[in-house]
Chains A and B, each alone.
Chain A
């Protein structure tokens, strides 16, 4: 160290300290930057006693994320969870608060469920198992004991009075009388009884005879039975083991779902009570089959329609391109109707700066002769696009009307549909001087944000005098209202 200058020593020291500090902050706070990965899911609790921000979220006891934020919303705790990217939660996932150790270090346990579709970013876990409130439990128990004591009181009322005692006594006396009568009857019918007994005797004798005559077959039967019981002896234990295993599993299932079972039974009880008293639709339905059938039919139809509407997607796109060659802008508005993921219709309006080109020929006569002057007039035009598109995996093919002429196109989607490379060809029968060839446009769209995309490419590449690059941007979003509008139309049909 002697050879080192003061500055070098101090510098080395500083670097060392900064490294340590960096390491510590990275270990402590740096986790946050990494945890930003994954996706967020919400869950609402009535009572989250013991949970805190940064508390672990566990699935089967394994860390799967953290509680990122706790908010109070209308008296209910709303937890924002950040879940690891490789963990999938399904729509029937459930959340509950659990504790480890004696000190009750609380954490949030999630069961991932199994019902498709999987939860997406920003959705909520709907099944919530609340903490069992001990006060609540005591209250319920005390209600039960009250009921029992009421029962005891009514029992007492039924049998405790003089009257009822008398009635009981009478019953006993009656019983005595009945026995006496019975005995009398037997004595009176002594002869008949004897006959009956004789008959029985005879029957046994003949039975005996039958047995003696059929000794061999009987023996085989007995042997078979013995064989059966022997087999039962060997296979029996396994059978019993299986049975007991099944019972155990059943028990476990019940144990696991105790809470939900309980709540289910409770709600069933409620419903049953209501039905019993004829309340609500169900109550009436019990009596009126016709109504039930018609509702059933309606529900089926609705189910089908809702399914279709859910699949049905509508996108609205506004797009504006700047054509470099012409130095002009081109605006477009498209509505994409997508009844199925692989089939859609594109309807659109395009404001084309190079809409119609008309050539006017004027002949002027001058003393020296005649000169022909050709004058081109370019008019802006509103053009229409209507295409039918079909998508095969990453490739989409489009055909229909492009900018008011027949046209076709192809798209290739990549990077999770964030980017799209397209080729369009239209305007096959153009007789304009500069653009005899069809209009071909090649370009790439890229979604910078969820709804905002930028595009760039080459326009009209087959016509040398008009070819040029273009850049543009646009917004594209899904429109729910539109979807339901179309959904309703389809239902009305």
Chain B
């Protein structure tokens, strides 16, 4: 009996400790971000890594999501004669929800895992300690560029995902079902609002910040050799994905109301 209660207590303690550490790392990161000198070259390198290298995967995911979405909604909507609204549905769901969330999940799996593994390896091979002895702040040198790159690149990728998804929907609706292309575009742009696009991008920026922060945290505090690196990487991806999905609900509730 006591064991179970103790277990619950341990889980809560672990959770709070982890949250506390992440928030501490966050505050340190913010501080280091403001203080010069700035790691410009490093930041650009991370942007390339997180943003541009993720582009192919994001493109493929987005176009197929758009395609399958219009495939399903078209057959569904046809049953009550509303097939002209497919463009609206695809555009709304891509910009508000699927664009940011799917991009974030992909980046978490791809770049987040890479970040955690890289920092973890550096930690267990004591490279981070070496940096400190060289009077280089490891947070400034390693985490700030990743954080900045993640926060900036996610909205960019989400924008591309939005337009690609809408184009995918167009391919299926007009190409496969031979619906009118003019109607598709008209319905897409008529009912979409600027706030839909920008609120989606705000969400994406938030996801980018959480992914890079969580992954860096998991890598930075890795312990226990090669096994620890593996655990840290897995933990980074799992925690990032969970954070994305959970915070997505609350962000949507707050932004879109």
Q: Which residues of A contact B (CB under 8 A)?
A: 6-7, 9-10, 13-14, 16-17, 20-21, 23-25, 27-29, 31, 54, 101-103
Asked whether A103 and B193 contact (CB < 8 A) given A6-B45, A10-B51, A14-B156, the answer is no
Interface residue from B52, B162, B163 paired with A10 (Cβ < 8 Å): B52
Verify B81–A102 contact, CB threshold 8 A. Answer: yes
Interface residue from A20, A27, A101 paired with B159 (Cβ < 8 Å): A20
Asked whether A10 and B44 contact (CB < 8 A) given A20-B160, A24-B159, A29-B194, the answer is yes
Asked whether A9 and B48 contact (CB < 8 A) given A17-B156, A17-B159, A21-B159, the answer is yes
Verify A6–B44 contact, CB threshold 8 A. Answer: yes
Verify A13–B194 contact, CB threshold 8 A. Answer: no
Verify B160–A28 contact, CB threshold 8 A. Answer: no
CB of B197 closer than 8 Å to a CB of A: yes
C-alpha spacing A374/B150, complex, angstroms: 88
Verify B192–A13 contact, CB threshold 8 A. Answer: no
CB of B82 closer than 8 Å to a CB of A: yes
Give A30 Cβ to nearest chain B Cβ, in Å: 9
Query: 12 A-B residue contacts at CB 8 Å?
Result: A7-B44, A10-B47, A13-B47, A13-B55, A17-B156, A20-B160, A21-B159, A23-B163, A24-B197, A27-B189, A29-B193, A54-B190
In the bound complex, residues from chain A placing their C-beta under 8 Å from that of B194 are: 25, 28-29
Verify A103–B81 contact, CB threshold 8 A. Answer: yes
Verify A25–B81 contact, CB threshold 8 A. Answer: no
Interface residue from B81, B163, B192 paired with A20 (Cβ < 8 Å): B163
Told that A6-B41, A13-B47, A101-B81 touch, could you supply 15 new A-B pairs with CB distance under 8 A?
A6-B44, A6-B48, A9-B48, A14-B156, A20-B159, A21-B197, A24-B197, A25-B194, A28-B189, A28-B196, A101-B82, A101-B84, A102-B82, A103-B80, A103-B82
| Size of the chain B interface, CB-CB below 8 angstroms | 25
C-alpha spacing A337/B256, complex, angstroms: 58
In the bound complex, residues from chain A placing their C-beta under 8 Å from that of B193 are: 28-29
Q: At the interface, is chain B mostly helix, strand, loop or mixed?
A: helix
C-alpha spacing A25/B194, complex, angstroms: 6
Give B159 Cβ to nearest chain A Cβ, in Å: 5
C-alpha spacing A141/B159, complex, angstroms: 58
Using a CB-CB cutoff of 8 Å, which residues 169-204 of chain B contact chain A?
Answer: 189-190, 192-194, 196-197, 201
In the bound complex, residues from chain B placing their C-beta under 8 Å from that of A24 are: 159, 162-163, 197
In the bound complex, residues from chain B placing their C-beta under 8 Å from that of A102 are: 80-82
Verify A9–B192 contact, CB threshold 8 A. Answer: no
Verify A13–B52 contact, CB threshold 8 A. Answer: yes
C-alpha spacing A28/B41, complex, angstroms: 36
In the bound complex, residues from chain B placing their C-beta under 8 Å from that of A20 are: 159-160, 163
C-alpha spacing A27/B196, complex, angstroms: 13
Verify A9–B52 contact, CB threshold 8 A. Answer: yes
Q: Mark B100-119, 1 if CB is under 8 A from A, else 0.
A: 00000000000000000000
In the bound complex, residues from chain B placing their C-beta under 8 Å from that of A10 are: 44, 47-48, 51-52
In the bound complex, residues from chain B placing their C-beta under 8 Å from that of A27 are: 189, 192
Give A224 Cβ to nearest chain B Cβ, in Å: 65
The 10 closest A-B pairs by CB, nearest first: A29-B194, A17-B156, A27-B189, A10-B47, A102-B81, A28-B192, A6-B44, A21-B159, A6-B48, A10-B44
C-alpha spacing A188/B193, complex, angstroms: 102
C-alpha spacing A7/B52, complex, angstroms: 12
Across the interface, name the chain B residue whose C-beta is closest to A23. Answer: B163
Give A460 Cβ to nearest chain B Cβ, in Å: 57
C-alpha spacing A23/B189, complex, angstroms: 11
Using a CB-CB cutoff of 8 Å, which residues 71-92 of chain B contact chain A?
Answer: 80-82, 84
C-alpha spacing A464/B41, complex, angstroms: 71
In the bound complex, residues from chain B placing their C-beta under 8 Å from that of A9 are: 48, 52
C-alpha spacing A20/B82, complex, angstroms: 29
Verify A28–B51 contact, CB threshold 8 A. Answer: no
Across the interface, name the chain A residue whose C-beta is closest to B77. Answer: A103
Verify A17–B44 contact, CB threshold 8 A. Answer: no
Using a CB-CB cutoff of 8 Å, which residues 42-60 of chain B contact chain A?
Answer: 44-45, 47-48, 51-52, 55
Give A366 Cβ to nearest chain B Cβ, in Å: 85
In the bound complex, residues from chain A placing their C-beta under 8 Å from that of B44 are: 6-7, 10
In the bound complex, residues from chain B placing their C-beta under 8 Å from that of A16 are: 160
C-alpha spacing A55/B44, complex, angstroms: 45
In the bound complex, residues from chain B placing their C-beta under 8 Å from that of A31 are: 189
